[in-house]
């Protein structure tokens, strides 16, 4: 499984200023069918640990603060 090199190279981007995972929210991690999202133990914020997204969107749709954004490639829209 390829690892994401940096935040701009992955389809799922989390706005850390909006993410409330440090307050106990794990919605995006729980709804992801591929288990590609995780909570950073140091920052306490969600991030994409593997670049294997199916663009299924429940992480973005179910995020209570709108912190998660799925960047769907042009050819898949």
Q: Which two tokens stand for residue 37?
A: 């999202």
Residue 37 has φ and ψ, to the nearest 5°, of -100, 150
Residue 46 has pLDDT above 80, yes or no: yes
Domain span including residue 72:
7-76
Q: What is the CATH number of the domain that holds 33?
A: 3.30.70.20
pLDDT band at 6, cuts 50/70/90?
Answer: low
Q: Does 1 reside within a domain?
A: no
pTM, whole model, 2 decimals?
0.82
User: Domain tally for the chain?
Assistant: 1
Q: What is the 3-state secondary structure (H, E, C) of the chain?
A: CCCCCCHHHCCEEECCCCCCHHHCCCHHHHHCCCCCEEECCCCCCEEECCCCCCCCCHHHHHCCCCCEEECCCHHHC
Residue 74 has pLDDT above 90, yes or no: no
């Amino acid at each position: 499984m390829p690892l994401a090199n940096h935040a701009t190279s992955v389809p799922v981007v989390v706005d850390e200023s909006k993410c409330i995972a440090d307050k106990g929210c794990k919605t995006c991690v729980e709804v992801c069918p591929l288990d590609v999202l995780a909570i950073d133990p140091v920052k306490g914020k969600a991030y994409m640990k593997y670049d294997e997204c199916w663009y299924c969107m429940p992480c973005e749709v179910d995020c209570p603060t709108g912190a998660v954004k799925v960047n769907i490639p042009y050819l898949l829209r």
